[in-house]
Amino acid sequence: MSDDSEARWSPADNPYAIAVSQSQWALWAAQLFARDAKENCGDVQSKMYARQIFGQVRALQRCAEMMARELKRLGVDKAHRDHLRQAIREFEAAVPGAKSARDILEHFDEYARGEGKLVKQAMRDLGIDVCEAAAMYWGSVYDPSTEEVTEGAFVIVIPAALESAGRLQRAIYAAGQAVDRHRASS
């Protein structure tokens, strides 16, 4: 067997590399789900594929956040950190509600019972009852003619979301390259 340093590899030693690889997988999955939603003839199947995009764009967003933390932790220069932060802001503006829609899908049990975070917030902020608030954050719609997918109160236009996701993934990749250069010069 080789020495311990070669035999022991951990993602904890290289979280920036994990952010790069996971972001690529998330982008590919979102693109695949978008294609399947658009090409599928059945309403239920199209909606099923389209809804999955929320989870993938949220995963991509998490990869970017992970990379941003790594750039700061490793002391990569501010210009690279600023570039990634700007890409994250642009993505969040282009794909608003990615996290919230993914949360609704992930925590469907809480939202169905009127216990979801956004339901509670709507009850508090709008002064509405649990049934009305829960209804605001329930239901999925996919319109293949406009390529819009809705989850509760959150809507994304799939082609625009994929374009923005591609830009964010490229920014994550560039940040990973910056880490490699930083490590090589240290």
Question: How confident is the model over 97-146, as pLDDT tens digits?
Answer: 899 999 999 999 999 999 999 999 999 999 999 999 999 999 999 999 99
Q: How far is CA 43 from the centre of its chain?
A: 24
Cα separation, 146 vs 39, whole angstroms: 13
Say yes or no to pLDDT of 93 above 80.
Answer: yes
**Token digits for 172?**
């994550």
- Helix, strand or coil for residue 38? helix
Say yes or no to pLDDT of 1 above 60.
Answer: no
pLDDT at 135: 94
8 Å CB contact between 128 and 118: no
Residues 6+ apart with CB under 8 A from 148: 141, 142, 155, 156, 157, 158
Q: 171 pLDDT band (50/70/90 cuts)?
A: very high
Ranges of each domain in the chain: 15-185
Picking from 91, 136, 147, the residue whose alpha carbon sits closest to that of residue 114 is: 136
Say yes or no to pLDDT of 3 above 70.
Answer: no
- For tokens 């099923």, the residue is 48
Cα four-point dihedral sign 8, 9, 11, 14: positive
Question: How confident is the model over 16-64, as pLDDT tens digits?
Answer: 999 999 999 999 999 999 999 998 867 888 999 999 999 999 999 999 9
Cα separation, 33 vs 51, whole angstroms: 8
DSSP string of 83-141, one letter each residue: HHHHHHHHHHHHSTTHHHHHHHHHTHHHHHTT-SHHHHHHHHHH---HHHHHHHT--EE
pLDDT at 6: 64
Mean pLDDT of all residues in 159-176:
97
Mean pLDDT of all residues in 142-157:
93
pLDDT at 176: 97
Rounded percentage of the chain residues whose pLDDT exceeds 70: 96
